Amino acid sequence: MATTDEMIRFAGQMAKGLRDVSRNEWMRWVQVTKQYEYDLNKALHYAQRLTQDPTIRPAPKRAYRLIAAVIQEYKNYIKQLSPDEQLRLYGYVAWHLVIYSR
């Protein structure tokens, strides 16, 4: 079980790689992880697939490219977390994204 301080620190590190990602785009991806029952490989594949979709506008494509890169980088850490902890971590990331957007 990860401590809150540890999760906030990791969320901050993750958010630094997501500075060009809006909170809304991030939360859409979080919803996908829920749909896939926190199967990180499927959610990661989803983000990677959207980066290649010709019907997606450039800004969301870039957001999903960044999301895929950051999730891949922190995948080993995230996989150790329970679904509830993952959701908390993703919430902390969203919180950091709001802070960075100001």
Which tens digit of pLDDT belongs to each residue from 41-62?
A: 999 999 999 999 999 999 999 9
- Domain span at residue 64 reads 4-100
- Indicate if the pLDDT at residue 97 is higher than 80: yes
Q: Among 37, 35, 12, which Cα is nearest to 94's?
A: 12
Give the pair of three-digit tokens for residue 11.
């969320």
**What does the pLDDT average to over 75-81?**
94
Residue 1 has pLDDT above 80, yes or no: no
Residue spans of alpha helices (H) in 1-102: 4-16, 23-35, 40-50, 58-79, 83-100
Q: What pTM value is reported for the model?
A: 0.92
In the chain, how many domains are there?
1
